[in-house]
Amino acid sequence: MMKNTLKRMLAVMAAVLAVLQLNAQPGVFLSRPQTSPHGRTLTMEETILGHDLFPESYRTVWRPGTHGLTSFEDGALRVKNALEGTDTEILPAEKIETVTGNDGAVFSRWLNRDLAVFTGIAAEAASVQSEYYYIVDVESGTLKAKFSLAPEARNLVLNPAGWHVYTKGKSLYFCDNFGNEYPLAVSENGDITYGQYVSRNEFGIAGGIFLSPSGKKTAFYRKDDSAVGTFPLLDINSRTGTLVSIKYPMAGMASENVRLGVYDFASGKTVYLSCDDFGHDQYLAGVTWTPDDSHILVHVLDRSQKHMRLNLYDAADGAFVRTVLTEDNDRFVEPQDQVWFVKGRTDEFIYRTDNRDGYRNLYLCTLDGKVRRLTETDADVAYTANDGRKVYYTSAEVSPVENHFFSVDIRSGKTERLTSAEGWHNIDVSPDCRYFTDNYSSLTVPGIADLCSISGGKKVNLLTAADPLADFICPEIVLGKVRSADGAYDNYYRLVKPADFDPEKKYPVIVYVYGGPHSQLVQNTWLGATARWEMYMAQRGYLVYVQDNRGTLNRGADFEKAIYGQCGQAEMADQMEGVRMLMSLDYVDKDRIGVHGWSYGGFMTISLVTNYPDVFKVAVAGGPVIDWKWYEVMYGERYMGHPDANPEGYAKTSLIAKAGNLKGKLLICQGAVDDVVVWQHSLSFVRECVRQNVQVDYFPYPCARHNVLGRDRIHLMDKVTMYFDDWL
């Protein structure tokens, strides 16, 4: 009896001590303790290329129009419905081989409920291999199409109606089910591009081909770069080196001209939409067909990105029909999505914006301009699906570092939360909206995949992932909050503590920073989204600190747009609040603080080390933006405005004038053929350091683009690590 009482007392004391230790650091709300110190440490190769060190995930695809989960196992196509207890082999391996004539054909995707796409390599000659596409009717078990494309074909969009669209070079083509090729739009010269992404992938643009719902027509982008300036990239692979010029529209300079064409496969005719609201300088995004193929909706945005019109066009002749709604903002409007039509309706759709109520919410709209808010939450949401009665979405309303699944009734507005477990949920809803797969993780949960009914009646576990780092030393990871510099927000951070952490010792700190738009580095996911390199450095005795700041994602419009006109200023102020919190901790060595980041993070790194030269001893910046006037027009002018309209902002944020402030050690790394942040940035900063007689270290990666990838990245991160080891 006394023995049990003593055990309970010790357990209570241990719990109290754990709480006291947790609260000793400001803002801590979650902590994952270090695993056994007897595990092994990561190698750099494992850190960069160790794909098996991520938790196992459950990968399936829904069969269109059903709630069957498709898997391709042992060469056979299967459909599973765990909730109903069925697991059906709908195409045996032998049948697939017989129908396709290829013993290596693998399942690729569904075209519709009955048509499955398989791909396989076939030998055309002794030295030639081609990838073939096989379209199989799974109900009849017959081959409906077989074709291959030329090696230079890209951006393939498969069409259930039989006309498959793709690009070759700068031109657009289509082929029939037998591979017979036909030109759709042929480039007139090197400045004209058809069927590819425009606006450098901004505004959510990922491609340039937009099939109609029936597949009988397709819309496509036509991009004219003739007015855009060029930038030379050095290719050292030729005998004497070659300059390769790329079209690069810089802030304040001439931009591309974009049009939207519509091609009718039956008539062979093309019309262009009359998108001329803002003349040459405009952006066309969010291209969406109406369900009946008759009309197209387009977000038309002016160059300043302060004014947007959602316009309706007639797909038959390209004529402008009406402006359905408008958005205006004195900072910027940023359409990121298409619109989603309500199932069973051709005149009612769902629209997402952060410009009306301060957060990215969903709105129910009609083609004649009626708008009603659907999601009544002060949090950013993302559309998932709808069944005509309810809209399904994920939201940050539980916490900005968690992602949960909800539904809202279209007519009554009643909402329901459909996930409860702590963490970040990735949702995939069945086409009939009866079921969903829920893949989630949290700081201490590697990964769980459940198959759930929307009604909540039943849930089946599909996967519970094992800890892939069980054999490694996994340092303690803390998630916490620190107040923003303006006092209006909590900014979330993670702190990875050194292996065998001892609070009586003092440790060097590496602040890893990105801090730019569209990013969220801190989430309640497995290990708090800790990158392997952060763990690698913690195993080597460093504290690693990562914090999101104003300007980043998932916190509402005012939080994101606080950076407008002065990129880096609010972000630095918020990062410094985190650094001051760190410096208040007894185990932080205030004289050994370093900072590292890439791209926007490289800009932030050099901003911090030159604006706070007495705080940061060592910095490593990769692919850094140095002056926003050298960055591309779509992104640069959104956040900084036009250089002529904001000369003070461009001058204040330029790092050229800050070069003379540098006191600590700075290493800059960059790909020499970077076509995102061109070489002019970092070389200009180095040139200014030479003028100021300020020492700076520089390491180019001769054949790398913006992101140094593959085995080159092992060398890069070894370089970064060695720099901190040598100087921090």
Helices 532-539 and 711-727, axial angle in degrees (round to 10): 40
d(CA 42, CA 45): 8
In terms of DSSP bridges, do strands 164-168 and 153-157 run parallel, antiparallel, or are they unpaired?
A: antiparallel
| Beta partners for residue 364, in sequence order | 350, 372
DSSP 370-389: -EEE----SS-EEEEEE-SS
Half-sphere CA count of 89, side-chain side, radius 13 A: 10
Best CA proximity match to 407, nearest among 432, 440, 433, 438: 433
User: DSSP state, 657?
Assistant: G
Give the strand pairing for 445-453 and 390-395: unpaired
Q: Among residues 337, 438, 627, 674, which one is catalytic?
A: 674
Q: Is 164 annotated as catalytic?
A: no
Catalytic residue of the set 31, 148, 212, 599: 599
DSSP, collapsed to helix, strand or coil, labels residue 584 as: coil
Geometric angle at alpha carbon 441, from 437 and 443, rounded to 5°: 170
CA 207 to chain centre: 15
Helix (H/G/I), strand (E/B), else coil: 525: coil
Which parts of 435-476 are beta strand (E)?
A: 435-442, 445-453, 459-464
What is the C-alpha separation between 225 and 192, in angstroms, rounded?
6
Neighbouring residues of 544: CB distance < 8 A, sequence distance ≥ 6: 495, 496, 509, 510, 512, 534, 537, 538
The structure tokens listed for 538 are 């913690």
Residue 303, both tokens: 């160059």
556: left (phi over 0), alpha (psi -120 to 50) or beta: left
Instruction: Based on the residue annotation, tell me whether 599 is a catalytic residue of this protein.
Output: yes
List b or e across 347-363, with b for residues whose CB sees 16 or more CB atoms inside 10 angstroms.
ebbbbbbbbebebbbbb
Identity of the residue numbered 141: G
| Other C-beta atoms lying within 10 Å of the C-beta of residue 427 | 22
Tokens at 62, concatenated: 């829904």
Enumerate residues 6+ apart whose C-beta is below 8 A from 629.
250, 251, 252, 636, 643, 650, 654
Strand partners, 161: none
Tokens describing residue 337? 């999505």
- Taking residue 84's Cβ as centre, other Cβ atoms within 10 Å add up to 12
Please name the amino acid found at residue 494. Answer: R
| Among 295, 518, 642, 706, the one annotated catalytic | 706
DSSP one-letter code for 359: S
CA gap 690, 675 in Å, rounded: 25
Coil vs helix vs strand at 241: coil
Is 674 a residue of the active site?
Answer: yes
**Residue 506, phi then psi, degrees to nearest 5:** -115, 135
Which residues are known to be catalytic? 599, 674, 706
